[in-house]
Amino acid sequence: MGIVVLTMKASVIEMFLVLLVTGIHSNKDTTKKIKRPKFNVPQINCDVKAGKIINPEFVVKCPAGCQDPKYHVYGTDIYASYSSVCGAAIHSGVLDNSGGKILVRKVAGQSGYKGSYSNGIQSLSLPRWRESFIVSEGKPQKDVTYPSALTYSSSKSPTAKTGEATKAYQKPSVPGTTAQSVTLVQVTGATASEASHTSLPKPSPSAVSTTSNLRSQPMGYRSWELDLWSTSSDASGQNSPRANAGFVPKEELSTQSLEPVSQGDPNCKIDLSFLIDGSSSIGKRRFRIQKQFLADVAQTLDIGPAGPLMGVVQYGDNPAAQFNLRTHMNSRDLKTAIEKITQRGGLSNAGRAISYVTKNFFSKANGNRGGAPNVAVVIVDGWPTDKVEEASRFARESGINIFFITIEGATENEKQYVTEPNFSNKAVCRTNGFYSLNVQSWFSLHKTVQPLVKRVCDTDRLACSKTCLNSADIGFVIDGSSSVGTGNFRTVLQFVANLSKEFEISDIDTRIGAVQYTYEQRLEFGFEDYNTKSDILNAIKRVGYWSGGTSTGAAINYALEQLFKKSKPNKRKLMILITDGRSYDDVRIPAMVAHHKGVITYAIGVAWAAQDELEVIATHPANDHSFFVDEFDHLYKFVPKVIQSICTEFNSQPRN
């Protein structure tokens, strides 16, 4: 009996131990089941914009190949949410074109976004946008939970009726995830525009609360979980079956209405004309390469009303404008227009084309803005069939900055056929190499995009924008002595006004000042007092006649001290002195001081003025800088002569 009891107790103990061990294993299994799953980094495509992702902070993986101009990026360092996430990552230097993981954090919208070129990507400028983001290396921070699946927004169709907002059905989230479905539209058997007229029915409350599969949708519509959908290809690199079936994100049907229109890069505000070679010798293949080059330049420049504007002239036997500066106001439209250009054929008359651009292209009617430098880029296959020197000189004197791109120039054996040897140096704005680009092969032309854009946007070096009419500080020194008389003094003032009318007057162009003198001197108005032509003409009209003696030497010293001392360093300093008699004081030393200080002096004598004194006052050579008028009433005849002398002196400066 005792033995039996012991046996039963042993059996109970053995059973207890078995249950205990089983429970421990069971608890371990349970622990394994509730263990937090490993974080999976969601992958996105190159074209995904930050604004389409609702999550405020997330880690994603970008594929290779996102360094492409078609993936637009807006801003620098801080990017508008309309930017490609992966494109912004490359632009910022966080990624290269091989892809990888990045950390994205949303921030507030900015009042402006500045475009820049960085790491092979040209970002665009944007006046303002509602939301921004910044990119950093894809290292998750401690104690921060990042979504394994991203929440995407679903936009309303642009053609939906008021009050019929399109919504995506959402599968309830599992703890630890934030997945949301993306609405897809199947457009099989119908165009995208037709499909966009039908909106999804609103989900019932039960559909939102259930944990079962998504409710079936009307024919032609389906919802997919984000991690099951790809816009372009599946994991194997092949086209996704859903893409082949015609599924596209519904928001992509209305991207055009959401596209922010860039105002252009304000750091490159130029009016640009491309003169492209359409001659028969270029051939169809090279003409296509030339068009692609134009499109690449248009994309890189960031065309817009606040930045660069661009037009195209094609030349063969004769030039013809393909479109002017105001025809296309953004890079996208410009690239489309470039693609439609057809080759004209004929000779390669670049000189005739330059003349056409000078006389016709840069006009207000064609979109010329006046305050923006005029730039003409001439592309030549080999060499022109006509001469360019005279046409180019006229263009330069008109303020046009001429660049030449010569492709596959003449070899030593071919130089005998060149119409005008060294034609490029005879044409460009300056002969210092800045305005000339020589390309060895058409297949290397694409390498010239960035160097050219950098040069044409360097407005401080566009020397030909400075003409004889827009680049000077002009000080009139007017004799108000008793011998002049009231009537003749008004005639002198009219002469001063007529000269002033010929110049482009503003605070950044030509500025005008005036001094009147007798024995004494008086500053009538300085260079900084008026900056419009109408204000200058009114100021001249208000000058009152003084009357007195004639101390011309003292007047020159006074003008140097009170007027030209405040001249801008980058301005040409012109003094135009008008007198009717011999000075009571010595003019030699004051004139020498003026010349030493770089003031170009024009001396205009009327009636009893001393010719020898005029020649001393005038800048060398005196014959080009001094004028004698026998009567006050004949002063008006000398307006064009003085202007011609000023421009001749300006254009005689070396072009190197």
327 and 403 belong to one structural domain: yes
Closest CA to 88 of 112, 66, 113: 66
What pLDDT shows up at residue 460? 82
Distance CA 477, CA 552 (A): 9
Kindly tell me if the per-residue pLDDT of 175 is higher than 80: no
Which 8-state DSSP code applies to residue 357?
A: I
3-class DSSP assignment, residue 413? coil
What pLDDT shows up at residue 399? 86
Closest CA to 135 of 100, 110, 179, 98: 100
Kindly tell me if the per-residue pLDDT of 346 is higher than 90: yes
Please give the residue range of the domain that contains residue 76.
Answer: 50-137
Q: How many other CB atoms are found less than 10 A from the CB of residue 504? A: 15
Q: How many other CB atoms are found less than 10 A from the CB of residue 475? A: 26
Which 8-state DSSP code applies to residue 250?
A: G
What pLDDT shows up at residue 137? 87
Average pLDDT over residues 35-55: 85
Do residues 568 and 474 make contact, with C-beta atoms less than 8 angstroms apart? no
Q: Which comes out higher in pLDDT, residue 209 or 513?
A: 513
Distance CA 81, CA 67 (A): 18
Q: How confident is the model at residue 26 (pLDDT cuts 50, 70, 90)?
A: very low
Kindly tell me if the per-residue pLDDT of 49 is higher than 50: yes
Distances (CA, A) of 591 to 291, 332, 565, 605, 616: 57, 58, 15, 15, 7
Q: How confident is the model at residue 108 (pLDDT cuts 50, 70, 90)?
A: confident
Distances (CA, A) of 174 to 181, 223, 426: 13, 18, 74
Kindly tell me if the per-residue pLDDT of 452 is higher than 90: yes
Is residue 427 in a domain? yes
The residues, any chain, with a CB within 8 Å of residue 453's CB and separated by 6 or more, are: 117, 268, 297, 300, 301
3-class DSSP assignment, residue 554? helix
Picking from 246-250, 385-389, 502-506, which range would have the lowest pLDDT averaged per residue?
Answer: 246-250
* Neighbour order of strands in the sheet with 374-381: 319-323, 309-315, 271-277, 374-381, 400-407, 436-439
Average pLDDT over residues 287-301: 96
Element containing residue 401 per DSSP (H, E): strand 400-407
The residues, any chain, with a CB within 8 Å of residue 359's CB and separated by 6 or more, are: none
420 and 520 belong to one structural domain: no
Q: How many DSSP H helices and E strands does the chain contain?
A: 19, 22
Closest CA to 320 of 345, 303, 283, 288: 345
Distance CA 265, CA 262 (A): 8
**Last residue of one domain, picked from the residues 137, 165, 200:** 137
What pLDDT shows up at residue 394? 87
Is residue 255 in a domain? no
Percent of the chain with pLDDT over 70: 77
569 and 623 belong to one structural domain: yes
What pLDDT shows up at residue 202? 35
Picking from 191-205, 250-264, 484-498, which range would have the lowest pLDDT averaged per residue?
Answer: 191-205
**Paired tokens of 604:** 């205009």
Do residues 211 and 172 make contact, with C-beta atoms less than 8 angstroms apart? yes
Is residue 182 in a domain? no
Q: Where are the beta strands (DSSP E) in 15-130?
A: 57-62, 75-76, 78-80, 100-108, 117-118, 121-122
283 and 348 belong to one structural domain: yes
477 and 448 belong to one structural domain: no
Distances (CA, A) of 259 to 121, 239, 583: 19, 27, 70
Output the average pLDDT for the chain: 80
456 and 478 belong to one structural domain: no
**Last residue of one domain, picked from the residues 404, 438, 461:** 461
Q: Put residue 399 in one of left, alpha, beta given phi > 0 → left and psi -120 to 50 → alpha.
A: left
Which residue(s) pair with 600 in the sheet?
574
What sign for the dihedral angle of Cα 9, 11, 14, 19?
negative
Q: How confident is the model at residue 293 (pLDDT cuts 50, 70, 90)?
A: very high
445 and 542 belong to one structural domain: no
Do residues 628 and 614 make contact, with C-beta atoms less than 8 angstroms apart? yes
Q: Could you give phi then psi for residue 633, rounded to 5 degrees?
A: -65, -15
Q: What distance lies between CA 233 and its chain's CA centroid?
A: 35
Is residue 630 in a domain? yes
Do residues 97 and 90 make contact, with C-beta atoms less than 8 angstroms apart? yes
404 and 525 belong to one structural domain: no
Q: Put residue 237 in one of left, alpha, beta given phi > 0 → left and psi -120 to 50 → alpha.
A: left
Kindly tell me if the per-residue pLDDT of 398 is higher than 60: yes
Is residue 261 in a domain? no
437 and 478 belong to one structural domain: no
CATH number of the domain enclosing 552 = 3.40.50.410
What pLDDT shows up at residue 8? 42
What pLDDT shows up at residue 154? 64
Is residue 162 in a domain? no
What pLDDT shows up at residue 246? 33
Q: Give the pLDDT confidence of 456-510 residue by residue, as tens digits.
A: 999 888 888 888 888 899 999 999 999 999 999 999 999 999 999 999 898 878 9
453 and 316 belong to one structural domain: yes
423 and 568 belong to one structural domain: no
127 residue type, one letter: P
How many structural domains compose the chain? 3
Percent of the chain with pLDDT over 90: 59
Q: Give the pLDDT confidence of 110-165 residue by residue, as tens digits.
A: 888 888 888 888 988 887 788 999 999 887 777 788 888 999 886 433 333 333 33
Which residue(s) pair with 104 in the sheet?
58, 135
Which residue(s) pair with 475 in the sheet?
513, 575
Is residue 36 in a domain? no
Closest CA to 122 of 145, 97, 90, 164: 90
Which residue(s) pair with 185 in the sheet?
221, 248
**Paired tokens of 90:** 């490359």
Burial 75-86 (b: 16+ CB within 10 A, else e): bbbbbbbbbbbb
Is residue 10 in a domain? no
What pLDDT shows up at residue 253? 35
Q: Which comes out higher in pLDDT, residue 617 or 165?
A: 617
Which residue(s) pair with 136 in the sheet?
103
Do residues 201 and 165 make contact, with C-beta atoms less than 8 angstroms apart? no
499 and 408 belong to one structural domain: no
Burial 244-264 (b: 16+ CB within 10 A, else e): eebbbbbbebbeeeeebebbb
Which 8-state DSSP code applies to residue 510?
A: B
**Last residue of one domain, picked from the residues 428, 461, 494:** 461
What crossing angle do the helices spanning 449-456 and 283-301 adopt, rounded to 10°?
A: 50
Task: Kindly state the greatest CA–CA separation across the chain.
Answer: 159
Picking from 239-248, 268-277, 302-311, 339-348, which range would have the lowest pLDDT averaged per residue?
Answer: 239-248
